[in-house]
């Protein structure tokens, strides 16, 4: 059974940093592109980042480019999101998601972790 | 690519059929997925490639459309279908989602 479990969320002050983790199991992690998607309170879904199987290629929307870094450790079947210079508008539930083989949608999602950016 | 879903809210009864529309601001071929969101559960992929049911999706769900106009239809609603539904285009980066449709019990 595919499982994605996020951790590392919490309350953080504007301008500070936070690192999210996602532990994957039930599939060969190194074979799949992975992603982070977020959902601000009462808002829709927003794609945040995608990483290739080896980690050599990463993709971001303009809203987080230069502030967020997605990475992975295939030996540990883990995905990460380093978030720097956090803003109040980054407040959201962050989901770890799997891309099916080289496709742009998401076939499995975690249950999410909440990040609140507030002073 | 902007994705516009309608309606935002939809009230229906078990046994009824409903349709949700998703319109793209430019052609996305058939590169569209539909998801179901329920409280306390991980989002579930229902349909990809516009009309291909993901393994495990009940046959009462169907997707149609290509280009800019897409529709998710649920026939003979069951109690477990009351949820929020999102469409998502993956024809080009960044992948973008519709604003969601909340399907409520009438």
pLDDT (tens digit, 9 = 90+) per residue, B44-70? Answer: 999 999 999 999 999 999 999 999 999
Size of interface A-B (CB pairs under 8 A): 52
pLDDT band at A36, cuts 50/70/90? very high
Sequence-distant (≥ 6) Cβ neighbours of residue B30 within 8 angstroms: B49, B50, B51, B65, B66
Whole-number Å distance between alpha carbons of A49 and A61: 7
Q: Which of residues 6-35 of A touch B (CB under 8 A)?
A: none
At B19, is the pLDDT very low, low, confident or very high (cuts 50, 70, 90)? very high
Three-state DSSP state, B24: strand
pLDDT at A59: 96
The per-residue pLDDT for range A54-80, each reduced to its tens digit, is: 999 999 999 999 999 999 999 999 999
Question: To probe the interface with B, which of A44, A50, A61 has the most B CB atoms within 10 Å?
Answer: A44
Beta bridge partners of B35: B45, B86
Share of chain A above pLDDT 90, in %: 97
Q: What is the pLDDT of residue A101?
A: 79
Does the pLDDT of residue A103 top 90, yes or no?
no
Question: pLDDT at position B3, please?
Answer: 98
Give the pLDDT band (50/70/90) at residue A102. confident
For residue B28, the distance in angstroms to the closest alpha carbon of chain A comes to 12
pLDDT (average), residues B23-31: 97
Mean pLDDT for chain B?
A: 97
Most B CBs within 10 A among A38, A57, A104, A114, hence the mutation to make, goes to A104
Q: How many H-runs (helices) and E-runs (strands) does chain A carry?
A: 0, 11
Cis peptide bond N-terminal to B100, omega within 30: no
Contacting B residues, span 10-69, partner chain A, CB-CB under 8 Å: 31, 33, 35, 40-45, 48, 54
Quick: pLDDT tens for B72-100: 999 999 999 999 999 999 999 999 999 99
CB under 8 Å to A48, separation ≥6 — which residues?
A35, A36, A37, A38, A60, A61, A64, A68, A70, A81, A94
Give residue A44's pLDDT band: very low, low, confident or very high (50, 70, 90).
Answer: very high
B96 interaction partners in chain A (CB closer than 8 Å) = 47
Q: Which of A115, A25, A2 is nearest to A67 (CA)?
A: A115
Average pLDDT for B20-38: 97
The upper half-sphere exposure of residue B75, i.e. CA atoms within 13 Å in the direction of its Cβ, equals: 6
For chain A, say whether B4 makes contact (Cβ under 8 Å): no
Q: For residue B14, what pLDDT is reported? A: 96
């Amino acid at each position: 059974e595919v499982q994605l479990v996020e951790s590392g969320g919490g309350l953080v002050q504007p301008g500070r940093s936070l690192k999210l983790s996602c532990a994957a199991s039930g599939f060969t992690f190194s074979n799949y592109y992975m992603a982070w998607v977020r959902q601000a309170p009462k808002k829709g879904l927003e794609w945040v980042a995608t990483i290739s199987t080896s980690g050599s290629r990463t993709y971001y929307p303009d809203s987080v480019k230069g502030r967020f870094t997605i990475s992975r450790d295939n030996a540990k079947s883990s995905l990460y999101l380093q978030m720097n210079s956090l803003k109040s508008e980054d407040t959201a539930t962050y989901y770890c998601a799997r891309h099916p083989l080289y496709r742009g949608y998401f076939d499995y999602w975690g249950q999410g972790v909440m990040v609140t950016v507030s002073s | 690519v902007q994705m516009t879903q309608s309606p935002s809210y939809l009230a229906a009864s078990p046994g009824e059929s409903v349709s949700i529309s998703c319109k793209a601001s430019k052609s996305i071929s058939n590169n569209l997925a539909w998801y179901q969101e329920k409280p306390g559960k991980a989002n579930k992929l229902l349909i990809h490639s516009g009309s291909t049911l993901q393994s495990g999706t009940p046959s009462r769900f169907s997707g149609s459309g290509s280009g800019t106009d897409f529709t998710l239809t649920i026939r003979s609603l069951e109690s477990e279908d009351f949820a929020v539904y999102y469409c998502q285009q993956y024809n080009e980066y960044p992948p973008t989602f519709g604003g969601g449709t909340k399907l409520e019990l009438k």
